[in-house]
């Protein structure tokens, strides 16, 4: 029997990004998604994904707050911050994340990061 796919939660307020990441990753992983931080945190608790790809700038609850809350309950769940703003990399709250990827049309870094984090956990 084939091994069950690991689940990745994509939290991003942009529909195009959620669709893009789903296309990128759904061959290897089961993808679930949320359009804001509030919804994302609810899915973290209810689905306990194997990894979270998290945008920072979102309505209701920003990604750094989601990160802080998620890590306080699930410290070993890998979280990849994925934002267009590289300046967030030096923000202290970002250091809780397992990886930081700047949004780019080239998705290879994100893909590599996800693969490596899921093989190492």
| Residues at the interface with Mg ion (CB under 5 A) | 13, 55, 57-58
Q: Whole-number minimum distance, CB 14 to Mg ion, in Å?
A: 6
Nearest residue to Mg ion on Cβ basis: 57
Got the DSSP string for 42-111? HHHHHH--SEEEE-SS-SSS-HHHHHHHHHHH-TTS-EEEEES-GGGGGSGGGGGSSEEEE--S--HHHH
- Nearer to Mg ion (CB atom), residue 84 or residue 115: 84
Q: Whole-number minimum distance, CB 3 to Mg ion, in Å?
A: 33
Q: Whole-number minimum distance, CB 7 to Mg ion, in Å?
A: 22
Q: Whole-number minimum distance, CB 1 to Mg ion, in Å?
A: 39
- Nearer to Mg ion (CB atom), residue 6 or residue 65: 65
- Nearer to Mg ion (CB atom), residue 13 or residue 98: 13
- Nearer to Mg ion (CB atom), residue 18 or residue 99: 18
Nearest to 81, CA basis, from 97, 105, 62: 97
Distances (CA, A) of 58 to 68, 85, 95: 15, 13, 19
């Amino acid at each position: 029997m084939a091994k069950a796919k690991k689940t990745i939660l994509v939290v991003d307020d942009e529909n195009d990004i959620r669709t893009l990441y789903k296309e990128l990753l759904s061959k290897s992983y089961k993808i679930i998604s949320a359009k804001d931080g509030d919804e994302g945190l609810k899915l973290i608790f209810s689905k306990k994904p194997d990894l979270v790809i998290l945008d920072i700038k979102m309505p209701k609850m920003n990604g750094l707050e989601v990160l802080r809350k998620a890590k306080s309950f699930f410290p070993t769940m890998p979280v990849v911050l994925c934002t267009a703003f590289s300046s967030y990399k030096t923000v202290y709250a970002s250091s809780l994340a397992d990886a930081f990827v700047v949004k780019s049309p080239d998705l290879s870094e994100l893909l590599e990061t996800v693969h490596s984090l899921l093989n190492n956990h």
